[in-house]
């Protein structure tokens, strides 16, 4: 029985090899977060069935070479059987991501294929630009406003102002459709007898698709405080957008605000600038909720597409599709320090799902099942 154990390189040649890789990575490690590189990949015909996809294999090699120019990660393992070390294993992965690439030249014959590319590699926390913007269906839940009994009574009617402002702002963004949902009934079998529904009315019911995301907003208003000769209104605002259909936690943003209601100045009652009007305070809160809603929607529309591969029959699938901005030219790559670097191409593109296959035709789909992959953002 063989076991793989993480271990230090026991062979001097391994040390030299790893040191060479690390030294080769240092010049790139101190550079900017993204850089342009040029790489050439090639594939040689061997008479195997994979020769039918010679150009794809050359492209994979070019992308791999480009990514390596941003540095490499090296993991060492030893295969041990009955306390005897049988072999050492090295897993070499690029230390940077391919943010985009352009094919400069390609030449393919029956014997050989060569592909040269320009690529942008790096480790940015977000894409340079949002080149792949997803289409979103957002169900806008009624905002929840909690006020202190000491806070101004007129703030209890914030909900319709927030709903109108957020819906208008999101609907104006490209690729986003917005619908309203009714407030969930609390411990009652008939929603029409829910207290909130009776007193505030219910939003029209809409049929939600599995890919519809729910956006919820919460506003907590505390009692005004007297500080520094001014009356301050503490307000907490949070907005969250769920991502249940792609198996991720919700995107959330929280802001703590302190709104000055009035200042103690001489003749304050005659100085209109020392007292904020009700409309100004309401607009201030609504604007903050609206801005947070736009931020989480933009993050969702442009977020990196990462998920685990699922094997259905003989095909690898992911819960992303055309509505997430994917096209047939997008490529995915495997993630994980101890996972060999493999590239996958889209073979079937649906609105909310894709099926993929490895560019390396010698790789069996079932060997990649359960592996985490991420799509390159700016591939063309």
pLDDT by residue (tens digit) across 146-164?
998 888 888 888 999 999 9
Once rounded to an integer, what is the mean pLDDT over residues 267-296?
Answer: 78
Once rounded to an integer, what is the mean pLDDT over residues 24-32?
Answer: 39
Query: Which is more confidently placed, 4 or 233?
Result: 233
Which residue from 172, 167, 164, 102 is spatially nearest to 138, judged by alpha carbons? 167
Q: How confident is the model at residue 221 (pLDDT cuts 50, 70, 90)?
A: very high
Q: What span, in angstroms and rounded, lies between the C-alpha atoms of 121 and 358?
A: 21
Query: Which is more confidently placed, 336 or 213?
Result: 213
Burial annotation 62-76 (CB, 10 A radius, 16+ → b, else e): bbbbbbbbbbbbbeb
List of domains in the chain: 1-125 (no CATH), 136-302 (3.40.50), 306-380 (2.40.30)
Q: What span, in angstroms and rounded, lies between the C-alpha atoms of 318 and 311?
A: 9
The percent of residues in the chain predicted with pLDDT above 70, rounded, is 68
Whether residue 306 is predicted with pLDDT greater than 80 in this model: the reply is: yes
Q: What is the pLDDT of residue 26?
A: 36
291, exposed or middle or buried, with CB in 10 Å at 0-12, 13-18, 19+?
middle
Q: What span, in angstroms and rounded, lies between the C-alpha atoms of 159 and 139?
A: 16
Q: How confident is the model at residue 208 (pLDDT cuts 50, 70, 90)?
A: low
Q: How confident is the model at residue 202 (pLDDT cuts 50, 70, 90)?
A: low
Give φ, ψ of 219 to 5 degrees. Answer: -125, 120
Q: What is the pLDDT of residue 256?
A: 95
Whether residue 292 is predicted with pLDDT greater than 90 in this model: the reply is: yes
């Amino acid at each position: 029985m063989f076991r793989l154990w993480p271990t230090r390189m026991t062979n001097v040649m391994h040390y030299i090899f790893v040191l060479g890789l690390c030294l080769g990575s240092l010049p790139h490690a101190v550079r900017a977060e993204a850089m342009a590189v040029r790489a050439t990949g090639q594939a040689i015909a061997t008479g195997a069935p994979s020769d039918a996809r010679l150009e794809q294999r050359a492209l994979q090699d070019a992308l791999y070479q480009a990514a390596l120019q941003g540095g490499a990660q090296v993991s060492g393992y030893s295969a041990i059987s009955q306390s005897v070390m049988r072999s050492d294993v090295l897993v070499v992965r690029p230390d940077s991501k391919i943010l985009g690439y352009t094919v400069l030249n390609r030449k393919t014959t029956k014997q050989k294929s060569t592909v040269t590319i320009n690529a942008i590699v790096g480790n940015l926390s977000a894409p340079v630009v949002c080149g792949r913007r997803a289409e979103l269906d957002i169900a806008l839940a009624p905002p929840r406003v909690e006020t202190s009994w000491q806070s101004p009574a007129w703030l209890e009617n914030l909900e319709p102002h927030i709903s109108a402002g957020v819906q208008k702002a999101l609907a104006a963004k490209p690729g986003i459709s917005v619908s309203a949902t009714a407030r969930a009934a609390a411990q009652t079998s008939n929603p029409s007898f829910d207290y909130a529904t009776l007193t505030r009315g219910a939003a029209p019911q809409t049929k939600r698709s599995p890919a519809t995301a729910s956006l919820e907003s919460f506003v907590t208003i505390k009692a005004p405080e007297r500080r520094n000769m001014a009356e301050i209104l503490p307000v907490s605002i949070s907005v969250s957008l769920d991502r249940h259909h792609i198996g991720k936690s919700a995107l959330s943003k929280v802001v703590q605000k302190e709104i000055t209601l009035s200042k103690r100045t001489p003749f304050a009652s005659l100085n209109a600038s020392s007292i904020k009007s009700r409309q100004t305070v309401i607009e201030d809160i609504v604007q903050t909720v609206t801005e947070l809603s736009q931020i989480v929607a933009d993050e969702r529309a442009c977020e990196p597409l990462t998920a685990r591969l699922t094997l259905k029959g003989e095909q690898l699938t992911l819960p992303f599709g055309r509505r997430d901005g994917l096209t047939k030219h997008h490529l995915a790559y495997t993630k994980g320090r101890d996972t060999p670097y493999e590239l996958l191409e889209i073979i079937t593109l649906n609105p909310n799902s894709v099926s993929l296959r490895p560019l390396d035709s010698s790789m069996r789909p079932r060997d990649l099942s359960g592996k985490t992959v991420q799509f390159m953002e700016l591939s063309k």
